[in-house]
Amino acid sequence: MTVFMNHTHTDVGAGGALGFLWMGSHVKSRDEQGAQDMIQRVVVISATWAIMLAMISKGMIMAHTSPSGYQRADIVPLPQPHYDGKVSVESALCQRRSVRAYTEAPLTIDEVAQLVWAAQGITHADGLRTAPSAGALYPLRVSLVVGNVQTLSQGIYTYRPDKHELVRVIEGDKRAELSAAALEQSWVGHSAVVIVLSALYERTTARYGERGIRYVHMEVGHAAQNIQLQAVSLNLGTVVVGAFDDRKVQRIMQMTTRELPLSLMPVGRIP
Ligand SMILES: Cc1cc2nc3c(=O)[nH]c(=O)nc-3n(C[C@H](O)[C@H](O)[C@H](O)COP(=O)(O)O)c2cc1C
């Protein structure tokens, strides 16, 4: 009988330690060893997946922090934002009002790209953004509940500032559900798109502790004001909606309980 000493369990990577526990006998036939290696691999891969799925379901891994798993078909590259406009900052500040009535006309993808860029777009080679962030930790996420945007199918999208692109995470028109979750505020359901600003507090509290909560709330205000001023510049209407059921919005948006929605901003054309 040929004897085979197995010294290499490192090829199972992170499962190496688990593999070590599996080593019963140190001297085996090649066939026995091959079968045992195969079983070890299957067990290690299955265990790794089970642990990862459990972590995702418990919110220990945020779906949007690992977007590389998204299908290419769900990624929507956005047109480059414009860096100048016809409305001065002073004029936009004077004109800004909460607008709660919109026409049925769709928004364009350029307008949507401009709005998400205003909220959290990258404006510096070091990854700094349009809105300030404590410690440049960027705990905010910008999502879109799309209902009536040219060339963009209905659904829920998340904005990736680093790539200036959208990733579709849910299909279908979710505006009515979102309106119901926002205490039936009809402007949420009748807008062309709802911009949802949410936060992963841990990104900021991990460094700043309790005070980080305050920082996150300040940051969502900065982003919301950027969106409001950009909307004025595009002659679009929007309003900050803070009255909604957190749990219901989390469920619609498929957020974990560790991500909190903070502002809903319906946007549409002004009548
Ligand atoms: C934190 C916050 C929460 C708000 N929540 C709502 C809301 O749930 N629904 C709504 O219609 N307006 C909401 N608003 C908009 C205010 O009603 C509005 O800003 C205020 O009436 C002043 O009017 P103006 O924005 O036109 O200046 C909110 C504004 C802020 C800053």
SS3 state of residue 233: helix
The single-letter DSSP state of residue 129 is B
Residues 113 and 81 in one domain: yes
Average pLDDT, the chain: 84
Summary count for the chain: helices (H), strands (E) = 9, 9
Residues 73 and 134 in one domain: yes
Residues 26 and 79 in one domain: no
Residues 116 and 50 in one domain: no
Query: Which of 241, 246, 270 has most ligand 1 atoms within 8 Å of CB, for mutation?
Result: 241
Residues 17 and 79 in one domain: no
What percent of the chain has pLDDT above 70?
Answer: 73
Q: What's at 120, amino acid-wise?
A: Q
Residues 99 and 171 in one domain: yes
Query: Which of 179, 183, 240 has most ligand 1 atoms within 8 Å of CB, for mutation?
Result: 240
∠ CA(166), CA(171), CA(174), 5° rounding?
A: 100
| CB 267, CB 192: distance < 8 Å | yes
Structurally, the chain folds into a number of domains equal to 2
Q: Is the CB of 241 under 6 A from ligand 1?
A: yes
pLDDT classification of 16: cutoffs 50, 70, 90: very low
d(CA 35, CA 44): 14
Q: Is the CB of 185 under 6 A from ligand 1?
A: yes
Q: Is the CB of 179 under 6 A from ligand 1?
A: no
Structural domain ending residue among the three candidates 19, 38, 57:
57
What percent of the chain has pLDDT above 90?
Answer: 73
66-89: average pLDDT: 83
User: What CATH number should be reported for the domain holding residue 74?
Assistant: 3.40.109.10
Residues 165 and 241 in one domain: yes
pLDDT classification of 14: cutoffs 50, 70, 90: very low
Atom of ligand 1 nearest to the CA of 228: 25
Residues 159 and 116 in one domain: yes
pLDDT tens track for 193-238? 999 999 999 999 999 999 999 999 999 999 999 999 999 999 999 9
Q: Is the CB of 98 under 6 A from ligand 1?
A: yes
Q: How many other CB atoms are found less than 10 A from the CB of residue 97?
A: 12
Residues 82 and 9 in one domain: no
Check whether 12 has a pLDDT greater than 60: no
Residues 133 and 23 in one domain: no
Distance 105 CA to ligand 1 centre (A): 24
What is the sign of the dihedral through the CA atoms of 94, 96, 101 and 103? positive
Confidence (pLDDT) at 35: 59
Of 36-45, 80-89, 147-156, 221-230, the poorest mean pLDDT is in 36-45
Q: What's at 258, amino acid-wise?
A: R
Confidence (pLDDT) at 98: 98
pLDDT tens track for 124-162? 999 999 999 999 999 999 999 999 999 999 999 999 999
Residues 104 and 210 in one domain: yes
Tokens of 94: 């004077």
Check whether 31 has a pLDDT greater than 70: no
Query: For 104, what's the count of Cα atoms within 13 Å in the CB-facing half-sphere?
Result: 0
The whole domain housing 16 covers: 4-57
Atom of ligand 1 nearest to the CA of 243: 8
Residues 150 and 37 in one domain: no
Q: Is the CB of 97 under 6 A from ligand 1?
A: yes
Q: Compute CA 16 distance to the chain's CA centroid, rounded to the nearest angstrom.
A: 33
Check whether 22 has a pLDDT greater than 80: no
